[in-house]
Chains A and B, each alone.
Chain A
Amino acid sequence: MKLPTSITTLIAGILVTLISLWYGQNHGWMPEAASREAPLVDNLFNVMMTIATALFLLIQGALIISIIKFRQKPGDNTDGPPQEGDIGLEIVWTAIPVVIVMVLSIYSFEVYNEMGGLDPAASKDPGPQKTAVVPGTAMAATLPGQEKLALGVGVPPNLQGNNAIVNVDVLGLQYAWIFTYPDSGVVSGELHVPTGQNVKLNIVAQDVIHAVWIPQFRLKQDAIPGRDTQLRFKPEVAGTYPLICAELCGAYHGAMRTQVIVHTPEEYDEWLQSQIAAKEQGDGLTIAQIMADNDNRLARHTQDWNISPEAIAALQEMPHSLDSHHLQHL
């Protein structure tokens, strides 16, 4: 059966379109989507996957067909046709990427805006602040009703004016995360948040750059020494997810991970109350305890990994007295 070229092209085009549309939705590469922001990113990614699949099939297809159809026939030592260009074709393949790129830019812009990336309070860089990093104090200084400037992902336009319900101060240091709840003074080594409420992480770093990454929320922001950054989001699905340090911060960068526990609001209140109670009785977690726990964890690892005792000693010497460390530079 010999079909005219135009028909084969048409069929190929339809096939490519269908496969791309299907694959763009069904690649299954993304982890669970557990925040308000995650589906926005996933939809964007699916669109990009669709376009990428189509371009991939088109170009690889052309290459494979060339290899099969246009390979040198045995004994034929002549040249191919002396075609040097085709203005029409060239205009088409300049214009199509221009359009794709414009659509992707605008769509990405929309998504980013809807995530809160262009919130004025989160998209201006106030520069290095040279403030002391003292967990629970410096960042709690935010006046009620007034958001402090901090880089990162902020409030989406439709929620402007709403203050976050849950505020958490996040401190990154080699090699642990410390979460302080400024409203209650509770300190934790894991992040606990309720579903369906606006959460704001105020992120700082003590020593080197770290980065908060919660893959299931599709959110990431560097923790930069000397600068305040923030992430605002709304957890949607209860569960336990990893919180990973995503910026190289030293030998144990890979070990710098903890958990986000997304509770239902009731569970969250329970947890918070129990922490406050423990704190009042004097057996709540303190920063020193979290660090000690963390060192034990690292030390345990280091034993498993046959690492020199000096290395562990060096780790133990790290400045854990948070209050004194950075104040000297004021």
Chain B
Amino acid sequence: MQSSTADTAQNTLATASHTEAGHHGDHPDHRIFGLYMFLFAEAMIFLGLFAAYLTFRSVAQVWPPQGTPELELLLPTVNTVILVSSSFVMNRGNKAIRNNDVKGLRLWFAITAAMGLVFLFGQGYEYFTNEFGLTDNLFTSTFYVLTGFHGLHVTFGLGLILVVLGRSLKAGRYTSESHFGPEAAELYWHFVDIVWIVLFAILYLF
């Protein structure tokens, strides 16, 4: 840094005025970047809960504790398939809006919402028909808290989809240029989906 400061100042000044032109409007949109970080933090909560669950399980002598009724597998598997495929459905919605096809966006998002709803109903049905309660033992407690916390996220994701659907009714709200809403909703939905896959694997399968 021994070179004359004034020189560097002039150089940097030159570059500054060059780049000015490429910069239009207000400041660029960083929301997706921020959303990724938010999802990272969310993932850490789930990771913490999963780690707790796995620890309980690995130090226990019998798991699930004696007297825990068998988990029904059929319904959750169907549910899993529905939730996972809904991610692909939703992706088509975003592809549509990238081609300025608002109708397509609405269609695919509506289907996704319906699938999400089915998932939630399935989950609710499971809660009602399960033969065990929240406080029966360590397994049942973790089962309800983990699936419940995930269910909360599904509900929130569903809310996002509905908001996007509502807004898409306004002409020109989403275009191929500007579609943060659908994009964010999709990212969130994928996240909820991935969490479910892990959850399903460690709670039901193994």
Contact = CB atoms under 8 A, between A and B. Distances in A.
- Tell me if chains A and B make direct contact, with any CB pair below 8 A: yes
Interface of A: 82, 84, 125, 127-128
Interface in B134-177: none
Contact of B59 (A82, A84, A127): A127
Interface residues of B, number: 5
A128 B1 CA distance: 62
B37 interface: no
B60 interface: yes
A128 B61 CA distance: 9
Nearest to A126: B59
A31 to B, nearest CB: 37
A84 B60 contact: no
A12 to B, nearest CB: 32
9 contacts: A82-B1, A82-B2, A84-B1, A125-B59, A127-B59, A127-B60, A127-B61, A128-B59, A128-B60
Nearest to B2: A82
A25 B105 CA distance: 77
Contacts of A127: 59-61
A214 B2 CA distance: 62
Contacts of B1: 82, 84
Contacts of A84: 1
B200 to A, nearest CB: 26
A78 to B, nearest CB: 15
Interface string B33-77: 000000000000000000000000001110000000000000000
A223 B178 CA distance: 60
A127 B2 CA distance: 63
B139 to A, nearest CB: 14
Q: Give 9 closest A-B pairs by Cβ, nearest first.
A: A127-B59, A128-B59, A84-B1, A82-B1, A127-B60, A125-B59, A82-B2, A127-B61, A128-B60
Contacts of B2: 82
A127 B56 CA distance: 9
Interface string B10-51: 000000000000000000000000000000000000000000
Contacts of B60: 127-128
A125 B2 CA distance: 60
A84 B1 CA distance: 9
A127 B59 CA distance: 5
The residue in B1, B2, B59, B60 that gathers the most chain A C-beta atoms within 10 A of its C-beta is B59
A125 B1 CA distance: 57
A199 B124 CA distance: 57
Contacts of B59: 125, 127-128
A221 B61 CA distance: 24
A125 B60 CA distance: 12
B4 to A, nearest CB: 13
B63 to A, nearest CB: 11
Contacts of A128: 59-60
Interface in B57-102: 59-61
A82 B4 CA distance: 13
A128 B2 CA distance: 65
A84 B2 CA distance: 11
Contacts of B61: 127
Given A127-B59, A128-B59, 7 more contacts: A82-B1, A82-B2, A84-B1, A125-B59, A127-B60, A127-B61, A128-B60
A158 to B, nearest CB: 31
Contacts of A125: 59
Nearest to A127: B59
A82 B1 CA distance: 9
A253 B160 CA distance: 50
B65 to A, nearest CB: 9
A83 to B, nearest CB: 11
A225 to B, nearest CB: 15
A38 B184 CA distance: 61
